[in-house]
Amino acid sequence: MSAALGGNGPNRERSNQALRTRREYGLGSAGGYFLKGVTATTRPVFLPALDEAYERIDATSADSGDEVIAVRNDVERPGIETVVLRYTRIRKGAFDDIVRATVAQVWPFEEKVGVRPIGQWQVVYPDAPRRTEESPDYDEMITLTRYASYEHYLATRPGRAVLAGGNGPDWQAWRAARAVEAERTIETTTEFLQGFTHTSSPSYQPGLPERYRLR
């Protein structure tokens, strides 16, 4: 049993070496975030196609104000995978409404355009070293999301995401949920991280420069 847990031998030595390396480069810590909320899991998502037919107008990129935005995707575009850590101060008691909308409306559309959610959590405050103190004026929320590249992140921002996934009902639900969060947001900061992650990689397949109308 101890061997299976790496109690002796090469596995234990590698673990000790990894800890020594971390200590060598570590500069200290202000404590941690303690979180409760929802961790995203790899799951099938069924977004059925609409019963509509289109004809291509020309080979110029769609405009975000077009009545119909139908998207065919290009081949996958490689890049350096990027994790976005978003820290948000939200109105007291707003987390449950935000995370409910995130799971039901934000993640399905984002997964369709190649984004890989990691999770969304509210910060809690146990009796342990931690980065922040509880405030009577706001709650704190952490959202982690994986993108295939920084370019992929930019292509899925409000105002541009519609050109990656079209303006169907899934995009409309995504936009409505983002508006719900914005109404309850006091302040947001974003950090970009690059490193090793595994399984179910994000995929960036940009929309082709084509315009359509209903036929």
171 or 22: whose pLDDT is higher?
Answer: 171
State residue 20's pLDDT score. Answer: 76
pLDDT digits (tens, 9 = 90+) for 23-45: 677 676 778 889 999 999 878 88
| pLDDT over 50 (residue 3) | no
Class of domain 31-214: alpha beta
pLDDT digits (tens, 9 = 90+) for 152-180: 999 999 999 999 999 999 999 999 999 99
Q: pTM of this prediction?
A: 0.80
| pLDDT over 90 (residue 190) | yes
Nearest to 115 by CA among 204, 43, 181: 204
Residue ranges covered by each domain of the chain: 1-30, 31-214
State residue 207's pLDDT score. Answer: 92
Residues 6+ apart with CB under 8 A from 61: 163, 207, 209, 210, 211
61: how many CB neighbours lie within 10 A of its CB?
A: 14
State residue 30's pLDDT score. Answer: 76
Query: Six-digit token pair at 18?
Result: 């990894």
6 or 64: whose pLDDT is higher?
Answer: 64
pLDDT digits (tens, 9 = 90+) for 62-87: 998 899 999 999 999 999 999 999 99
Segment 121-149 mean pLDDT: 94
Q: What is the mean pLDDT of the chain?
A: 89
Percent above pLDDT 90 for the chain: 70
75: enclosing H helix or E strand = none
